[in-house]
Amino acid sequence: MNIPRAKSFVFSTGLALLGLLVQAQAVEEKATPAIPVPASATKPVLNDDGFLIVGFEQLASFEFTPPTYDTVGANGLSAVKKGTEQIPERIKQLDAQKVVVTGFMLPIKMKEGLVTEFLLVKDAMMCCYGVMPKINEWVIVKMKGKGVPPLMDLPISFEGKLKIGELYDNGYLTGIYLLEGEKQTKVKG
């Protein structure tokens, strides 16, 4: 297999996986109760570089039902709130903030052996072992510059500007969190 085909395969496979995750999550019909927010998730903490430390205990602290075209309630109106309506204000306040997030890498795009775009997921079991993450349990990371070496199965942290809101690719909802990655940092703890 030549290199351009390999890159195309990695990209196509990553997008297909992302689409399947979102579609499978949208099919889930039963409502689950809201997850309580831990007190530790409400106190802002900065790392040594001055970036706000944001964890998945915050990002995944609410239920999100991906909107679909065919979800209609008894009154003929949409039975599912629009994506931005479901995101709590405490999460929306992180929009455009410089943050550091720790998770596990699932590469989507590579260039010259470096990962330029990837999913940062809540835990390793969501990465490769078949446990489907919820849409608020991953962050799409697009690295500025050349990218970073692939590193899977170990927790890694990335600093950058976080964007909150629905993200679409070819008409499909692919996420609600985007990190414009500036650099990889050391995991503390």
By the 8 A CB rule, do 126 and 25 touch?
no
Of 76 and 66, more confident: 66
14-28, 68-82, 164-178: lowest mean pLDDT where?
14-28
Structure tokens that stand for 170 in this block: 């070819």
Condensed to tens digits (0 to 9), the pLDDT of residues 104-161 reads 999 999 999 999 999 999 988 755 566 788 999 999 999 999 999 999 889 999 999 9
Q: Which domain CATH number covers 151?
A: 2.40.50.870
CA distance 156 to 154: 6
The whole-number average pLDDT for the span 10-17 is 48
Does pLDDT of 42 surpass 90? Answer: no
Does pLDDT of 20 surpass 60? Answer: no
Does pLDDT of 27 surpass 50? Answer: no
Q: How many residues does the chain have?
A: 189
Q: What is the mean pLDDT of the chain?
A: 79
CA distance 121 to 136: 9
- The candidate with the shortest Cα–Cα distance to 103, out of 57, 56, 149, is 56
| SS3 assignment, position 151 | coil
- Domain hosting residue 58, numbered range: 3-185
CA distance 54 to 93: 12
| Predicted local confidence at residue 40, as pLDDT | 47
pTM: 0.73
Q: What is the DSSP letter of 88?
A: -
Number of structural domains (the chain) is 1
Chain centroid to Cα 57, Å, comes to: 13
